[in-house]
């Protein structure tokens, strides 16, 4: 257990539905990152927060994706109008600003039918 | 061309064999990371390197900054070492976000 928790572990949804994932980072970590991983590939960066500020978003993050970290603690990632291509493992990681080591959650596996 | 390239993509070894995984990168970095991912998704950080060599148990990681190359070695491999090993790089200037290689799937047979 790395101390980063993600919920749910698995999500099955129908195309067109909205889904929301949650990440609870290690409590003192002020940086929080979202990554997406498809089968057989390495993870790809989506976005990251420092405290409550979203500092960078990848071009992979289309308008259907939105992420928040309202109080600088937990974060949510919402996908609207899901498509089959959104099926992937969504990983969250956290770290301290001054440290480069990231701690990963176990991920949320999304399947869009 | 990907910024982080790993080789091989797949590797099968017999228990006890010495395993080497290679990683090359093409961008400026602050640190290089070796991570382990078991089936089910969880990623664990094994090493974070900015120079030289680190050792932890049967695992050894080296980096050559001039050649932009790193290797991960597993000595006396064991079936429990079977996992995907991922190389990633980070830069403080880029918010320490990781750029990942494609991973090397390692299977150690008893």
List chain B residues with CB under 8 Å of A101: 33, 45, 48
> Tell me: the pLDDT tens digits for A34-43?
999 998 889 9
Q: Which of the residues in chain A have pLDDT under 70?
A: none
> Tell me: the pLDDT tens digits for B3-53?
999 999 999 999 999 999 999 999 889 999 999 998 876 899 999 999 999
By the 10 Å C-beta count (0-12 exposed, 13-18 middle, 19+ buried), B56 is classed as: exposed
Q: How many CB atoms neighbour CB A42 within 10 A?
A: 22
Model pLDDT, residue A38 = 93
Note whether B63 contacts A: Cβ–Cβ < 8 A. no
Which stretches of chain B are DSSP H helices? Answer: none
Which of B31, B83, B97, B104 would best serve as a mutation to test chain A binding (most A beta carbons within 10 A)? Answer: B97
Q: Which of B42, B48, B92 sits opposite A104 (nearest CB)?
A: B42
- How far does the CA of residue A16 sit from the closest CA of chain B (Å)? 25
Which of B3, B27, B41 would best serve as a mutation to test chain A binding (most A beta carbons within 10 A)? Answer: B41
- How far does the CA of residue B67 sit from the closest CA of chain A (Å)? 22
The mean predicted confidence, pLDDT, of chain A is: 93
Diameter over CA atoms, chain B:
44
CB–CB contact B43 A91 (8 Å): yes
All residues at 6 or more sequence positions from A50 whose CB lies less than 8 Å from its CB, including other chains: A30, A31, A97, B95
Residue B1 has pLDDT above 80, yes or no: no
Note whether B90 contacts A: Cβ–Cβ < 8 A. yes
List chain A residues with CB under 8 Å of B83: none
How many Cβ contacts (< 8 angstroms) between chains A and B? Answer: 67
In this prediction, residues B68-74 reach a mean pLDDT of 97
Model pLDDT, residue A33 = 95
Note whether B26 contacts A: Cβ–Cβ < 8 A. no
Q: CA A99, A52, A32, A40 torsion: positive or negative?
A: negative
CB–CB contact A42 B102 (8 Å): yes
Note whether B39 contacts A: Cβ–Cβ < 8 A. no
Phi-psi region of B85 (alpha: psi -120 to 50; beta: other; left: phi over 0): beta
Question: Which among A43, A46, A48, A45 is positioned nearest to A32, based on CA atoms?
Answer: A48
């Amino acid at each position: 257990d790395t101390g980063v928790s993600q919920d749910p572990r698995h999500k099955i949804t129908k195309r067109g539905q909205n889904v929301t994932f949650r990440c609870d980072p290690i409590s003192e970590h002020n940086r929080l990152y979202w990554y997406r991983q498809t089968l057989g590939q390495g993870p790809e960066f989506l976005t990251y927060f420092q405290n409550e500020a979203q500092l960078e978003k990848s071009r992979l993050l289309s308008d259907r994706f939105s992420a928040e970290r309202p109080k600088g603690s937990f974060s949510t990632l919402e996908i609207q109008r899901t498509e089959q291509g959104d099926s992937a493992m969504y990983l969250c990681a956290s770290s301290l600003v001054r440290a480069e080591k990231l701690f990963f959650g176990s991920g949320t596996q999304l399947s869009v039918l | 061309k990907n910024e982080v390239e790993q080789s091989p993509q797949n590797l099968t070894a017999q228990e006890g064999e010495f395993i080497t995984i290679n990683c090359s990168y093409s961008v400026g970095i602050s640190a290089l990371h070796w991570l382990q991912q078991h089936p089910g998704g969880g990623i664990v950080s094994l090493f974070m390197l900015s120079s030289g060599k680190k050792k932890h148990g049967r695992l050894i990681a080296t980096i050559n900054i001039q050649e932009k190359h790193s290797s991960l070695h597993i000595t006396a491999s064991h079936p429990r070492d079977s996992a995907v090993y991922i190389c990633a790089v980070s830069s403080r200037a880029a918010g320490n976000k990781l750029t990942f290689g494609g991973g090397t799937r390692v299977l150690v047979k008893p």
